């Protein structure tokens, strides 16, 4: 009976692993269609644009007023009409970027969505939100319909950081020491030095939440963020001010393949505004049999009335 149960569990694991791999491949294929659309728009290639849509495919453009007030105007274009509009434009080269595309796959249906920025030549034009519904056909994924807002209040979009896709470094994720070391290295650097956001992303499990604790009006306040939201909010400050964060103490509790790390830290800046502070990162981790993943991080900075206890400042 135990052998039969073990066989069933093994088969279930294999099926689950295969399904996860297939789903990830489908997501990459869906995003590749959108990347090809950007390239076809850049080169104003009408045939290449049309080939990405189904015969009945269409795009809805939702034009918001330039001041952001009032009702939007809606235009509906077929895939062919959209291709004609782009290819016949006399404007300089189009450059559309969607720095952080989100993808969901449901069998033969996929959705790709996210905020975007649009440049005409070297000049910024507008921003907005894109949603693409794709269907899987005999010749691959095709755009069945799409909708885009055209907006002009774009300060936050211009700050969005494109996160490069990189493979996890085994040295970063094979041990708790390695992943905590990388956790600090990726955000640290001199003024003007790009942060390692692609490497940073490899440390986290999908759907990770980052929580920054602070006081507002004397009461505890939790700022709950995705990794992307954290990056967009912190990147400009880190790069401009030369932010360095280092570990000054660590307490680890591990049971099997789960672990909790209380990592005391100190940070400082080397730019025009010299600042420094200390606090504690509470890091939750798990090991899936192949590597360690960070599933959640919560941090709070030290205050006069809330100093870091001495036991958390011990060297690991």
Domain ranges of the chain: 8-158, 170-313
pLDDT at site 3: 61
Task: Report strand pairing: 204-216 vs 292-301.
Answer: parallel
Q: Which CATH architecture has domain 170-313?
A: Roll (3.10)
- 8-158 and 170-313: same fold? yes
Distances (CA, A) of 232 to 23, 96, 116, 197, 239: 27, 18, 14, 10, 12
Distances (CA, A) of 271 to 138, 167, 197: 55, 31, 21
Instruction: State how far the Cα of 70 lies from the Cα of 198, in Å rounded to an integer.
Output: 39
Ranges of the chain whose pLDDT falls below 70: 1-20, 315-316
Asked if residue 182 lies in contact with residue 199, where contact means CB atoms within 8 angstroms, the answer is yes
Assign 3-state DSSP to the chain and report helix, strand, coil percentages, each to 5. 30, 40, 25
Instruction: State how far the Cα of 53 lies from the Cα of 32, in Å rounded to an integer.
Output: 13
**C-beta neighbour count of 193 within 10 angstroms:** 12
CATH topology of domain 8-158: Nuclear Transport Factor 2; Chain: A, (3.10.450)
pLDDT at site 148: 97
- pTM, entire model: 0.66
Backbone angles phi, psi at 240, to 5 degrees: -70, -45
pLDDT at site 272: 74
Q: Determine the 3-state secondary structure of 72 from DSSP.
A: coil
């Amino acid at each position: 009976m135990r052998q039969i149960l073990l066989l069933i569990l093994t088969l279930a694991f294999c099926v689950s692993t295969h399904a996860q791999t297939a789903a990830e491949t489908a997501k990459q294929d869906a995003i590749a269609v959108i990347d090809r659309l950007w390239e076809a728009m850049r080169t104003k290639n009408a045939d290449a644009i049309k080939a990405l849509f189904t015969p009945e495919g269409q795009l809805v453009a939702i034009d918001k007023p330039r001041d952001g007030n009032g009702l939007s105007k809606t235009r509906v274009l077929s895939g062919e009409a959209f291709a004609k509009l782009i290819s016949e434009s006399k404007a300089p080269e189009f450059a559309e970027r969607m720095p952080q595309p989100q993808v969901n796959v449901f069998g033969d249906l996929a959705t790709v969505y996210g905020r975007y920025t649009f440049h005409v030549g070297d000049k910024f034009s507008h921003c907005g939100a894109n949603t693409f519904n794709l269907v899987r056909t005999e010749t691959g994924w095709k755009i069945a319909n799409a909708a885009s807002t055209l907006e002009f209040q774009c300060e936050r979009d211009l700050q969005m950081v494109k996160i490069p896709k990189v493979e996890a470094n085994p040295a970063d994720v094979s041990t708790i020491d390695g992943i905590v070391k990388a956790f600090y290295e990726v955000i640290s650097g001199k003024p003007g030095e790009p942060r390692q956001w692609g490497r940073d992303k490899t440390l986290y499990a999908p759907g990770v939440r980052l929580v920054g604790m602070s006081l507002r009006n004397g009461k505890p306040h939790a700022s709950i963020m995705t990794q992307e939201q954290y990056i967009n909010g912190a990147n400009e400050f880190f790069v401009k001010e030369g932010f360095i964060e280092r570990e000054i103490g660590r307490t680890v509790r591990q049971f099997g393949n789960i672990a909790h790390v209380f990592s005391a830290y100190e940070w400082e800046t080397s730019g025009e505004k010299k600042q420094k502070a200390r606090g504690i990162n509470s890091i939750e981790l798990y090991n899936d049999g192949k590597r360690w993943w960070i599933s959640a991080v919560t941090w709070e900075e030290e205050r006069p009335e809330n100093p870091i206890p001495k036991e958390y400042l011990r060297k690991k």
